[in-house]
């Protein structure tokens, strides 16, 4: 094999690696579509608010790998804000799906967080009430039902660790000023869940 041919193969390989890294990096930091979250708690919602206490809701797909980090960060948030917020995790549940489709490791992880109520959202009705379209979307409403925060609590897809969303919600729940009331959501679409996922999937879809 000639030296020039080896150089050519090396160049092709490096180009392919660079392309792959660039694609994955872009994908990791591409947020879900921003939506207009209601400024007041939707009256049609069946989720229960606790009188005199803020309410947080996370919308999730039960098979979204990105959302594992969001659930993990929610556990951190609840540790920092014990007894300061009522929290719900609402998992999308398309009508006719099996219980196995719904009760994944994400459901069990959310269920294990003290102070968090976990429930199914049949056909995405609650997600529709709040205009949530991306798994990992969090909304926080104050004690009288006014929107305080909307967005994600991770800084990229599947990222664990500090993020603007997590920090700002903790500040708000401790009655401190937040740097923002909206952050990007890094997760998978809730709009067409069955076409994007299958149980046990290890990759997210845009």
CB 19 within 8 A of CB 11: no
Going residue by residue through the chain, which has 206 residues, state the pLDDT in tens, using 9 for 90 and above.
Answer: 565 645 555 555 444 444 333 333 434 445 556 667 999 999 999 999 988 899 999 999 999 988 999 999 999 999 999 899 999 999 999 988 888 889 999 999 999 999 999 999 999 999 999 999 999 999 999 999 999 999 999 876 555 667 888 999 999 999 999 888 899 998 888 876 544 444 334 344 43
Neighbours of 29 (CB within 10 A): 13
Containing 10, the helix (H) or strand (E) segment is helix 3-28
Compute CA 31 distance to the chain's CA centroid, rounded to the nearest angstrom. 10
The Cα–Cα gap between 5 and 19 comes to 21
- Angle, vertex CA 123, rays to CA 118 and CA 127, nearest 5: 60
Compute CA 51 distance to the chain's CA centroid, rounded to the nearest angstrom. 26
Q: What percent of the chain is helix, strand and coil (3-state, nearest 5)? A: 35, 15, 50
The residues, any chain, with a CB within 8 Å of residue 186's CB and separated by 6 or more, are 28, 29, 30, 31, 32, 66, 136, 152, 154, 155, 156, 157, 158, 159
The residues, any chain, with a CB within 8 Å of residue 19's CB and separated by 6 or more, are none
Pair of tokens at residue 112: 């294990």
CB 91 within 8 A of CB 121: yes
> What pTM value is reported for the model?
0.78
């Amino acid at each position: 094999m000639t030296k020039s041919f080896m150089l050519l193969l090396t160049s092709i390989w490096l180009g392919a690696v660079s392309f792959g890294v660039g694609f994955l990096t872009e994908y990791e930091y591409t947020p879900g579509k921003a939506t207009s979250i209601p400024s007041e708690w939707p009256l049609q919602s069946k989720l229960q608010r606790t009188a005199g206490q803020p309410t947080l809701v996370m919308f999730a797909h039960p098979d979204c790998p990105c959302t594992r980090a969001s659930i993990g960060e929610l556990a951190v948030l609840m540790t920092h804000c014990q007894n300061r917020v009522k929290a719900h995790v609402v998992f999308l549940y398309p009508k006719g799906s099996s219980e196995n489709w719904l009760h994944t490791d994400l459901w069990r992880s959310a269920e294990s967080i003290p102070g968090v109520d976990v429930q199914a959202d049949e056909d995405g009705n609650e997600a529709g009430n709040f205009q949530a379209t991306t798994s990992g979307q969090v909304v926080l409403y104050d004690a009288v039902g006014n929107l305080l925060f909307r967005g994600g609590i991770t800084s990229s897809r599947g990222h664990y660790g500090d993020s603007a969303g997590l920090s700002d919600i903790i500040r708000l729940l401790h009655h401190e000023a937040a740097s923002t009331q909206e952050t990007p959501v890094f997760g998978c679409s809730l709009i067409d869940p069955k076409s994007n996922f299958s149980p046990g999937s290890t990759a997210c879809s845009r």
